[in-house]
């Protein structure tokens, strides 16, 4: 029996699960397609970030703590290519692409200015630009720079038409002679899929004015602005001129758990940054309870309206003029704002369908990983494979963290307890605690749930 667990995806769910597994003594392999670990919250996991301590009451692992863990192996720019076997004993193959920069890199920054290739920075929701050799954030894991070979002038079969970065790298960290990819074979007892979610096509936001004015942004773009050390150091600024906005309107078209959670947490951050006027427009008619629960979670002083959006247009003085048909008053108010923020919808992560084929998992109708066992919400259609957070469609951070901890506990149950740290009790053994009376099926299920919640609260 192996002592290892595979975690696919290194966002908050994957890293929480990895920390749980590592703390129990399991070797944990974290595989991510991106060049750095951390997913959307990577910037919040740095030592400098004050929100790294916790978001919505959920502790976020620090990159420095993760880097120090001897039990966690990170494979970035990597994908799971094959998995065979059964719970407790899976053989896996992971293909890892070259980053062309070795760990000799000291982040001296000399290479970046000389690189002639410029692309939009996908790690900042496209709000900034980057070079072909770059670091996605000021602090990353792994720490070395990376070359995006697709935008580098040396993309095969062009061999070395450009060596500007090599010429300035005194640490001999750049090597174009590395193999394009490598295959790693490992054995793991269980797999946790935490590939997160993607943001649905923003083209549908054009009807809300997206693209009309640079200060009309999506909620995801605002999150990058609010996250330190993001492109504006964690302070909201107008993309048109980097000035501080005095008034912001957030438009939410439907109160889904994701849109509501995002709007509430962002409004709290905006209030902390002393934005004078914060307004929220809900363009879908909600039942009274949903709306009152939502409004109660907002800080005082936020104006909340419900109405059908009529127009979002660029107004005078770099303002954005918004008009809507108010559901309650039947009037058509028209107001000017410095910034307008549009809510986004989530969809399955790119490549999830391919991954599901590789792992032989069922997806649900929306394309997220199906979790058919009602009392094990992380369990998928294949034994020993668990899915958490956005991979299953849930996007609320507290749910994501809770499901990651539960999945880690279930996954650890497939390893030999003798290989783990003393004191760890697999969930299967908690459920089988000795009892003089034979418990009923309902009692057994209740005990499992209680045990699970106890373990999740550790």
Tell me which residues touch ligand SF4 (CB under 6 A). 101, 105-111, 114-117, 132-133, 145, 147, 152-154, 162-165, 168-169, 171, 173-174
Cβ 131 to ligand SF4 shortest distance, Å:
6
Nearer to ligand SF4, 12 or 35 (CB): 35
Rounded to whole angstroms, how far apart are CA atoms 239 and 242?
A: 5
**CA separation (Å) from 12 to 35, 37, 344, 412?**
16, 9, 19, 19
Cβ 138 to ligand SF4 shortest distance, Å:
12
Strand, coil or helix: 44: helix
Nearer to ligand SF4, 116 or 211 (CB): 116
Cβ 172 to ligand SF4 shortest distance, Å:
8
Question: Given the DSSP bridges, would you call strands 334-337 and 4-8 parallel, antiparallel or unpaired?
Answer: unpaired
Nearer to ligand SF4, 170 or 437 (CB): 170
Contact 369, 327 (CB under 8 A): no
Which two structure tokens, joined as six digits, stand for 19?
Answer: 């920390």
**CA separation (Å) from 358 to 80, 84, 238, 285, 353?**
8, 10, 43, 42, 9
Cβ 37 to ligand SF4 shortest distance, Å:
18
Nearer to ligand SF4, 27 or 130 (CB): 130
Cβ 451 to ligand SF4 shortest distance, Å:
48
Nearer to ligand SF4, 168 or 444 (CB): 168
Q: Which long-range contacts (CB under 8 A, 24 or more apart) does 77-82 make?
A: 77/32, 77/33, 77/34, 77/35, 77/146, 78/31, 78/32, 78/33, 78/184, 79/31, 79/33, 79/351, 79/355, 80/6, 80/8, 80/31, 80/355, 80/358, 80/359, 81/183, 81/358, 82/358
Nearer to ligand SF4, 108 or 366 (CB): 108
Which two structure tokens, joined as six digits, stand for 379?
Answer: 């369990």
Nearer to ligand SF4, 103 or 254 (CB): 103
Rounded to whole angstroms, how far apart are CA atoms 411 and 276?
A: 48
Cβ 175 to ligand SF4 shortest distance, Å:
10
Find residue 186's DSSP bridge partners.
92
Contact 21, 7 (CB under 8 A): yes
Cβ 224 to ligand SF4 shortest distance, Å:
23
Nearer to ligand SF4, 12 or 165 (CB): 165
Q: Where are the alpha helices (DSSP H) in 230-361?
A: 257-272, 288-296, 352-359
Cβ 236 to ligand SF4 shortest distance, Å:
30
Cβ 229 to ligand SF4 shortest distance, Å:
17
Phi and psi, residue 409, nearest 5°: -65, -45
Cβ 108 to ligand SF4 shortest distance, Å:
4
Nearer to ligand SF4, 107 or 277 (CB): 107
Nearer to ligand SF4, 165 or 322 (CB): 165
Closest alpha carbon to 101 in 53, 168, 45, 50: 168
Strand, coil or helix: 7: strand
Rounded to whole angstroms, how far apart are CA atoms 144 and 146?
A: 7
Rounded to whole angstroms, how far apart are CA atoms 251 and 8?
A: 34
């Amino acid at each position: 029996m192996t002592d290892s667990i595979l975690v696919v995806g290194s966002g908050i769910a994957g890293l929480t699960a990895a920390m749980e597994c590592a703390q129990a003594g399991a070797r944990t392999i974290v595989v991510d397609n991106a060049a750095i670990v951390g997913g959307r919250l990577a910037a919040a996991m740095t030592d400098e970030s004050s929100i790294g301590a916790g978001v919505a009451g959920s502790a976020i692992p620090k990159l420095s703590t993760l880097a120090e863990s001897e039990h966690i192996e990170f494979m970035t720019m990597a994908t799971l290519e094959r998995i065979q076997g059964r719970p407790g004993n899976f053989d896996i193959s992971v293909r890892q692409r070259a980053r062309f920069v070795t760990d000799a890199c000291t982040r001296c920054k000399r290479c970046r200015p000389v690189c002639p290739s410029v692309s939009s920075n996908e790690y900042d929701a496209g709000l900034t630009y980057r070079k072909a050799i770059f670091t996605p954030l000021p602090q990353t894991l792994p720490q070395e720079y990376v070359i995006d070979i697709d935008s580098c002038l040396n993309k095969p079969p062009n061999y070395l038409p450009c060596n500007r970065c090599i010429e300035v790298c005194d640490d001999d960290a750049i090597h174009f002679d590395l193999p394009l990819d490598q295959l790693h074979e490992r054995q793991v007892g269980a797999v946790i899929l935490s590939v997160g979610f993607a943001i649905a096509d923003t083209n549908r936001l054009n009807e809300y004015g997206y693209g009309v004015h640079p200060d009309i942004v999506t909620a995801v773009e605002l999150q990058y602005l609010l996250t330190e050390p993001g492109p504006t150091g964690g302070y909201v600024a107008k993309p048109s001129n980097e000035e501080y906005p005095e008034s912001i309107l957030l438009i939410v078209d439907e109160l889904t758990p994701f849109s509501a959670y995002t709007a509430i947490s962002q409004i709290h951050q905006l209030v902390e940054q002393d934005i004078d006027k914060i307004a929220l427009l809900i363009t879908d008619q909600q039942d009274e309870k949903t709306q009152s629960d939502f409004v109660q979670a907002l800080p005082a002083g936020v104006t909340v309206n419900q109405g059908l959006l009529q127009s979002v247009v660029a107004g005078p003085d770099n303002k954005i003029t918004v008009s809507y048909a108010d559901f309650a008053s039947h009037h058509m108010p028209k107001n000017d704002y410095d910034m307008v923020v549009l809510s986004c919808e989530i969809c399955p992560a790119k490549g999830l369908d391919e991954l599901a084929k590789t792992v032989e998992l069922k997806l649900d109708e929306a394309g997220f990983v199906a979790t058919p066992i009602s009392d094990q919400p992380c369990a998928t259609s294949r034994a020993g494979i668990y899915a958490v957070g956005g991979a299953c469609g849930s996007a609320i951070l507290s749910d994501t963290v809770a499901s990651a901890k539960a999945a880690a506990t279930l996954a650890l149950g497939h390893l030999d307890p003798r290989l783990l740290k003393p004191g760890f009790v697999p969930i299967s053994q908690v459920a089988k605690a000795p009892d003089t009376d034979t418990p009923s099926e309902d009692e057994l299920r209740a005990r499992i749930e209680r045990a699970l919640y106890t373990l999740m609260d550790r």
